[in-house]
Amino acid sequence: MHEKTLAEQSRLLASGEISSSELTNHYLERIERLDGDLNSLITVTGAAAKKAATAADEKRKAGDDSPLLGIPIVQKDIFCTKDVLTTCGSRMLENFVAPYDATVVSKLDTAGMVNLGKANMDEFAMGSSNENSYFGPVANPWNRKCVPGGSSGGSAALVAARLAPAATGTDTGGSIRQPAAFCGLTGIKPTYGRVSRYGMIAFASSLDQGGPLAHTAEDCAMLLQAMAGEDERDSTSSHEPVPDFSSSLQQPLTGLKIGVPEEYFSAGLDDAVASCVQSSLAEMEKLGATLKSVSLPNQSLCIPAYYVVAPAEASSNLSRFDGVRFGHRCENAQDIEDLYKRSRDEGFGSEVKRRIMIGTYALSAGYYDAYYLKAQKVRRLISDDFANAFADVDLVAGPTTPTPAFETGAKSDDPVSMYLNDLYTVSANLSGLPALSMPCGMVDGLPVGLQLLGNYFDEVRVLNAAYQFQQATDWHTLAPNGIE
Ligand code: GLN
């Protein structure tokens, strides 16, 4: 059953060939047997999942034919779940049980999905390798010596290992797309505002966006359908009507104009990754698309701007974890200052502390203009580059990451080389544009991702192009050894 995509499982459930209970038990058994050395889940909610599956089967018998009814999913542990632990990968929230569900969680629940548990992640979603989790690193199922990417590394590893057909992720600077690329999956970061951030623990509020990770564009379209929409509890969620993301998947790519940024194919990009990306662009051309060279002149400023804006917002968001309002509290505090200091010192890991210090510095009175304000201006220039590109083309395509997955430990002592992983992903967050990654080749036994960026609220076109590519290729069908 686990070799089927989510869309195929949906059809099998609809025809009565399988039940949600069978599917749920099958995945729970796989988690039990296979997750030990992957470490992709922090919490497994087996008993609740079985109950939800039985309820889904009863609903279906009573005539409910919702497409996601009875399909298992795992939530990234950044989404608050009522009565279930929500750690955000941190000691700070080691014992936190949220009193409510995040909007994404309640929407998927309403759609009838069965929650199997909570996925491991980099602490507070800060990282590109899942090595920053308080609950330990996650292994990449394609090569267990390698990282699965981050921060949604648990989500990606568990879907790649077929421990669930799909998982949720969040993407502040690439955390859905980069792990999708490293683990051979399809993942989409929607337009900023498309998916509610209510109940999604904040990292950098102007960049954070939730989205799905699954095997195909078709699966992502179905999941996004259930996740998207305006939410009165998130004032930044958009009024824009939610289209039918699946309805245009079949449309041929004839006439589609794809922009290929010159700046993407320069220093820093691995040659083998570049050649996978080039051949998939040639495939897109065969499918009827036209390729056009475009320029994003401020591409080299994306990483510096992101690593000022994201830590600045993080330093402010994370101030609520002080041992009083939220989070871990130290033992035997001498006075209030000692309580704050030691609670935060014990609760946060080193990468989170680094971000808080960088962010606090960038926002401080003497440096605000030089760093934060400057970064905000650069951010506008980056958005303008895309606006210019989208005046001529429908989509922008390129690599998702400069290299395939790297070995655990290879970059953990060098934050700057770790940050350079995000070279091609952060621009979609800085500008708010939707962007998808899907498998487009293999290098030394590891998957490579192709990134497609669309104009604001044009997820339909992004998903359509990815679907058509997946009809013509089989990269998305490959599974790691020992997983079949
Ligand atoms: N790797 C980036 C960072 O560490 C992006 C993380 C994310 O998207 N949550 O900030």
Please say if the pLDDT value at position 339 is more than 70.
Answer: yes
378 CA to middle of ligand 1, Å?
A: 19
Q: CA–CA separation, 224 vs 205, rounded Å?
A: 20
Q: Does ligand 1 lie within 6 Å of residue 422's CB atom?
A: yes
174 touches ligand 1 (CB under 6 Å): yes
pLDDT bucket at 268, cuts 50 / 70 / 90? confident
Check pLDDT > 70 for residue 484: no
pTM over 0.85: yes
Mean pLDDT across the stretch 185-198? 98
Across the range 56-66, mean pLDDT stands at 97
Residue 48 host element (H or E): helix 46-61
Task: Report the share of the chain in percent with pLDDT over 70.
Answer: 100
Per-residue pLDDT reduced to its tens digit, 279-333:
999 999 999 999 999 999 999 999 999 999 999 999 999 999 999 999 999 999 9
Q: How far is the CA of 467 from the centre of ligand 1 (A)?
A: 26
pLDDT at 483: 81
Q: How far is the centre of ligand 1, averaged over its atoms, from the C-alpha of 166 (Å)?
A: 20
pLDDT at 428: 98
The domains of the chain are located at 1-484
Provide CB contacts within 8 A for 161, sequence distance 6+. 30, 34, 35, 38, 40, 141, 480, 483
What is the mean predicted confidence (pLDDT) over 467-482?
96
pLDDT at 389 over 90: yes
Burial class (CB in 10 A: 0-12, 13-18, 19+), 54: middle
Tell me which fold the domain 1-484 belongs to: Amidase signature (AS) enzymes (3.90.1300)
C-beta separation of 440 from 275 below 8 A? no
Q: Does the Cβ of 120 fall within 6 Å of ligand 1? A: no
Residue nearest ligand 1's atom 10 by CA:
126
Instruction: Return left, alpha or beta for 482; rule: phi > 0 is left, psi -120 to 50 is alpha, else beta.
Output: left
C-alpha of residue 429 to centroid of ligand 1, in Å: 10
Q: Residue 267 — pLDDT band, cuts 50, 70, 90?
A: confident
Confidence check: pLDDT of 207 > 90: yes
pLDDT category, 237, cuts 50, 70, 90?
very high
- Find the 337 Cα to ligand 1 centroid distance in Å: 31
pLDDT beyond 90 at 441:
yes
- 87-142 pLDDT, tens digit per residue, is 999 999 999 999 999 999 999 999 999 999 999 999 999 999 999 999 999 999 99
Instruction: Please say if 175 is a catalytic residue.
Output: yes
Concerning whether 151 is annotated as a catalytic residue, the answer is yes
Binding site membership of 425 for ligand 1 (Cβ less than 6 Å)? no
Q: Which atom of ligand 1 is nearest the CA belonging to 307?
A: 10
Q: Which atom of ligand 1 is nearest to the CA of 421?
A: 1
Which pLDDT score is estimated for 216? Answer: 98
**Catalytic member of 40, 66, 76, 196:** 76
- Res 160: pLDDT: 98
State the average pLDDT over residues 374-380.
98
Q: Mean pLDDT across the stretch 237-254?
A: 97
**Exposure letters 418-454 (e unless 16+ CB within 10 A, then b):** bbbbbbbbbbbbbbbbbbbbbbbbbbeebbbbbbbbb
Any atom of ligand 1 within 6 Å of the Cβ of 173: yes
Is residue 299 lining ligand 1, measured as CB closer than 6 Å? no
